[in-house]
């Protein structure tokens, strides 16, 4: 009986080890590299280790991304106890800029046919606010380039890949195809699809571990809900829209006090926009110009200048929107398809919504008890402290006066107490 129990335990252990040995974890990165991507890759590496996977395959297709996020990913891949395979795919994909750093830092680098890698110049890797200035400081740009070159050299040396080409990918924005990359020992494998990749990985030794991937079960690690949200948020278009929502919401709350909803939405959008500004390479001058345009719009509402300030505000908003991100970098380029409609909508919002609302608030009261004060009426009956009658604004009113007033005498309304008017003789 004891022998059979030990046999069952051995069989279960052998089954578990066999299931673990035949497992490969897989994730797909399609788009720009940002904080959410770094979190996703780091979490996936840890999860692949906890599942005892043979390796983690990262299918990559990216135009680039932020330097800070790229460094986090590279550090994770270089120290990962689980072999990491970066696979540039599908056909037509690219590992540009940040993607080149990530691919070269993998234990095994692979590409699909008709894919490209390279163009890792640090201009496309800016990660600090203000990095998108129209004329960046030459000294800082040179320092950033030198850092990127040395960083790429260290990665390529660590993985025994073509160091000279890796440096040229940064300095000269060199870019090559999959076939050329394998020939130049930048990558190790060209695989037409995932099954082909698993077949070619089988039997390779990484860090003293022989991979057994032929026919392995592929387990995809999905992005969490939070990672998906943050991946969607960190885009120039999203930050621009959030900034507009914040402007409309907060100004709308100020012009219609007590509405609450516009203020709440505007405050949430403002916080998210500030978070995005801390991540994306935002030009401070562009932000200041947009802020100036909002101020000019509001001032013109209170001090009409026949459209002069409104015209200046429209120009400032347009220039600020164009300068907000680096238009030379496709990764952070804000399309005119967003800018032009936003300028038109913002101008219309301040001219027709905010302007009309604020002017309406300054108009004299036309209805209600306030319009009764100071009115002149005629006493229909004698009026004293006990009461009387007057006819005003098409209605009969009860009136009282501390000074007796004869019938037919003109009276002036000085106050209202409920539905009773306080009047004095009109001299």
- Residues 60/92, Cβ–Cβ less than 8 Å: no
Residue 13 within a domain: no
**Packing angle between helix 163-171 and helix 138-158, nearest 10 degrees?**
160
Residue 8 within a domain: no
- Distance, CA of 259 to CA of 372 (rounded, Å): 29
Are 258 and 287 in the same domain?
Answer: yes
Residue 4 within a domain: no
- Distance, CA of 157 to CA of 103 (rounded, Å): 13
Residues in contact with 155: Cβ distance below 8 Å, sequence separation at least 6, in sequence order: 74, 78, 101, 104, 105, 166
Residue 131 within a domain: yes
Number of domains in the chain: 3
What integer pLDDT is reported at residue 93 of this predicted model? 94
Residue 375 within a domain: yes
- Residues 112/89, Cβ–Cβ less than 8 Å: yes
- The domain boundary residue, chosen from 322, 337, 362: 362
Are 128 and 47 in the same domain?
Answer: yes
- Distance, CA of 316 to CA of 291 (rounded, Å): 9
Find the CATH number of the domain harbouring 417: 2.40.50.140
Listed in order, strand segments (DSSP E) in 285-419 are: 376-379, 388-392, 395-400, 410-417
Q: Tokens 């009047």 correspond to what residue?
A: 423
pTM (2 d.p.): 0.67
Are 123 and 218 in the same domain?
Answer: yes
| 118-146 pLDDT tens trace | 988 775 444 443 343 444 457 777 888 88
Are 74 and 217 in the same domain?
Answer: yes
The SS3 of residue 88 is strand
Are 347 and 394 in the same domain?
Answer: no
Give yes or no for a cis peptide into 90 (omega within 30° of 0).
yes
Residue 323 tokens, joined: 């300068």
pLDDT tens for the 427 residues of the chain, in order: 444 554 444 444 444 444 445 799 999 999 888 888 999 999 999 999 999 999 999 999 998 888 889 999 999 999 999 999 999 999 999 999 899 999 999 999 999 999 999 988 775 444 443 343 444 457 777 888 888 899 999 999 999 999 999 999 999 889 999 999 999 999 999 999 999 999 999 999 998 889 999 889 999 999 998 888 887 777 788 888 888 898 888 877 776 666 678 788 888 988 888 877 777 778 888 888 988 888 887 777 666 666 678 788 888 888 988 888 765 566 667 778 888 888 888 888 777 766 555 555 555 555 555 667 778 888 888 888 778 888 887 778 888 888 888 887 888 888 888 778 788 887 7
Residues in contact with 205: Cβ distance below 8 Å, sequence separation at least 6, in sequence order: 211
- Distance, CA of 348 to CA of 249 (rounded, Å): 15
- The domain boundary residue, chosen from 336, 362, 388: 362
Are 201 and 239 in the same domain?
Answer: no
Residues in contact with 178: Cβ distance below 8 Å, sequence separation at least 6, in sequence order: 88, 111, 112, 113, 114, 115, 116, 117, 187, 190
Are 155 and 204 in the same domain?
Answer: yes
- Residues 34/72, Cβ–Cβ less than 8 Å: no
DSSP per residue over 130-163, as a string? TTT-SS--HHHHHHHHHHHHHHHHHHHHHTT--H
Radius of gyration of the CA atoms of the chain, in A:
36
| 276-303 pLDDT tens trace | 777 777 888 888 898 888 888 777 766 6
What integer pLDDT is reported at residue 48 of this predicted model? 94
Phi, psi of 143 (to 5 degrees): -65, -45
Residue 154 within a domain: yes
Are 183 and 102 in the same domain?
Answer: yes
Q: Tokens 């070159």 correspond to what residue?
A: 149
- In which domain, by residue range, is 304 found? 235-362
> Which is it for strands 395-400 and 420-425: parallel, antiparallel or unpaired?
parallel
N- to C-terminal Cα separation, the chain: 121
Going by C-alpha positions, the residue among 55, 59, 54, 70 that lies closest to residue 122 is 70
What integer pLDDT is reported at residue 417 of this predicted model? 80
CA 56-35-233 angle, to 5 degrees, is 120
Are 353 and 383 in the same domain?
Answer: no
138 to 3, 66, 123, 149, 170: CA distances (angstroms)? 76, 20, 12, 16, 16
The whole-angstrom distance between residue 185's C-alpha and the CA centroid of its chain comes to 38
Find the CATH number of the domain harbouring 54: 3.90.226.10
Are 327 and 278 in the same domain?
Answer: yes
The SS3 of residue 378 is strand
- Distance, CA of 360 to CA of 357 (rounded, Å): 5
Are 357 and 405 in the same domain?
Answer: no
What letter does residue 169 receive in the DSSP assignment? H
288 to 15, 87, 245, 310: CA distances (angstroms)? 64, 42, 17, 17
- Distance, CA of 344 to CA of 215 (rounded, Å): 58
Are 103 and 204 in the same domain?
Answer: yes
- Distance, CA of 393 to CA of 190 (rounded, Å): 90
Residue 2 within a domain: no
The residues with which 151 forms a beta bridge, in sequence order, are none
The residues with which 236 forms a beta bridge, in sequence order, are none
Residue 304 within a domain: yes
- The domain boundary residue, chosen from 198, 224, 250: 224
- Residues 62/86, Cβ–Cβ less than 8 Å: no
């Amino acid at each position: 009986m004891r022998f059979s129990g030990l046999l069952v335990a051995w069989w279960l252990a052998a089954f578990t080890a066999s299931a673990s040995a035949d497992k490969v974890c897989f994730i797909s990165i399609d788009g720009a590299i940002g904080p959410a991507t770094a979190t996703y890759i780091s979490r996936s590496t840890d999860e692949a280790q906890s599942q005892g996977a043979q390796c983690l395959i990262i299918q990559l297709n990216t135009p680039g991304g932020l330097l800070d996020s790229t460094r986090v990913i590279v550090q994770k891949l270089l120290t990962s106890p689980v072999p990491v395979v970066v696979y540039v795919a599908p056909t037509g994909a690219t590992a540009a800029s940040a993607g080149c750093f990530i691919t070269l830092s993998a234990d095994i680098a692979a590409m699909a046919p008709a894919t490209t890698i390279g163009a890792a110049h640090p201009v496309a890797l800016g990660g600090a606010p203000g990095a998108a200035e129209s004329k960046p400081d030459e000294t800082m740009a040179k320092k950033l380039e030198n850092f990127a070159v040395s960083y790429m050299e260290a990665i390529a040396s660590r993985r025994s890949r073509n160091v000279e080409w890796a440096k040229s990918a940064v300095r000269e924005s060199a870019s090559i195809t999959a076939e050329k990359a394998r020939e130049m020992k930048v990558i190790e494998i060209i695989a037409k699809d995932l099954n082909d990749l698993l077949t070619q990985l089988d039997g390779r030794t990484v860090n003293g571990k022989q991979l057994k991937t032929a026919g392995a079960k592929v387990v995809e690690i999905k992005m969490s809900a939070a990672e998906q949200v943050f991946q969607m948020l960190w885009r120039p278009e999203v930050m621009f829209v959030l900034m507009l929502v914040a402007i409309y919401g907060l100004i709308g709350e100020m012009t219609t006090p007590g509405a609450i909803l516009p203020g709440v939405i505007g405050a949430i959008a403002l916080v998210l926009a500030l978070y995005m500004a801390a991540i994306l390479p935002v030009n401070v001058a562009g932000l200041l110009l947009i802020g100036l345009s909002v101020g000019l719009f509001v001032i013109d509402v209170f001090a009409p200048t026949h459209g002069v300030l409104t015209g200046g505000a429209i120009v400032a908003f347009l220039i600020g929107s164009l300068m907000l991100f680096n238009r030379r970098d496709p990764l952070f380029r804000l399309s005119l398809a967003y800018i032009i409609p936003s300028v038109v909508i913002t101008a219309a919002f301040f001219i027709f919504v905010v302007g009309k609302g604020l002017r309406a608030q300054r108009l004299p009261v036309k209805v209600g008890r306030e319009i009764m004060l100071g009115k002149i009426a005629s006493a229909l009956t004698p009026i004293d402290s006990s009461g009387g009658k007057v006819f005003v604004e098409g209605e009969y009113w009860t009136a009282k006066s501390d000074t007796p007033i004869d019938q037919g005498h003109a009276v002036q309304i000085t106050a209202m107490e409920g539905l009773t008017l306080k009047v004095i003789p009109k001299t």
